[in-house]
Structure 1
Amino acid sequence: MAYDADLADRIRQALSGRADSREVKMFGGLSFMINGKLAATANTHGQLMVRCDPDRATELLTRQGAHWPEMRGKPMSRGWIVVDASALASEKAFRSWIQEALNYNKNATSE
């Protein structure tokens, strides 16, 4: 299973020091679990998929490079967003997406 190794390293670094994180190959990429719940995934196209608050999805989709993810050609449910690699170039932008995932993860009830 191929995924963007550089992006995976960035996610790994952002989550370093967290005892509650682990990596799992899924969704055609490398996913990062926090507290047993999916938070972010590095995919094969250098895109970051994050799990976010469904109530914030509409607002988050207005950010540069953000769009609804698809699974097998069908849109995924609210609460998942894919961010294009070009929109992750700055460390500030990248960290803001990771923080969105971590903020929601605190209240999420399942994977």
Structure 2
Amino acid sequence: MVDGRLALSAGREGDLLVRVDPKQHAALLDNPGVREPLMGDRSMGQGWLLVEGAHLNGEGVLESWVDRSLDSHAGPGRG
């Protein structure tokens, strides 16, 4: 949580739910193992991505997703 808003969440299967800047949403979907998360049969919308756990193992990969999420929460004078 950052400022009372969900930034990241680890899933039971090792996946990572990540809140990102909605302007970067489409481009980030091109990364391996990244897809739009669903709630039931509906998309969670722009700015939410699900990264498969198998694609988080490389050096610095998890950290880069954490950084992207924290950057999306940085407002004026922060980050």
Q: If the length of structure 2 is used for normalisation, what is the TM-score?
A: 0.89
Q: Give the RMSD, CA atoms, in angstroms.
A: 0.9
- Tell me which protein shows more strand as a share of its residues: 1
- Distance in 1, matches of 2:15 and 2:74, equals 23
Cα distance in 2 between the residues matched to 1:47 and 1:69:
10
Structure 2: tracts of 5 or more residues without a match: none
1:96 and 1:37 map into 2 onto residues whose CA distance is 19
In the alignment, what sits opposite 2:57?
89
Bigger relative CO (Cα 8 Å, ≥ 6 apart):
2
Identity of aligned residues (%): 33
Shift of 1:64: 1.1
Map of 1:104 onto structure 2: 72
Instruction: Report the equivalent of 2:23.
Output: 55
CA distance in 1, matches of 2:3, 2:74: 8
* Superposed structure 1 runs of 4+ greater than 4 Å apart: none
Number of residue pairs aligned between Structure 1 and Structure 2:
75
TM-score by length of 1: 0.64
1:91 is displaced (CA, Å) by: 3.6
Q: Tell me the secondary structure at the aligned position of residue 37 of structure 1.
A: coil
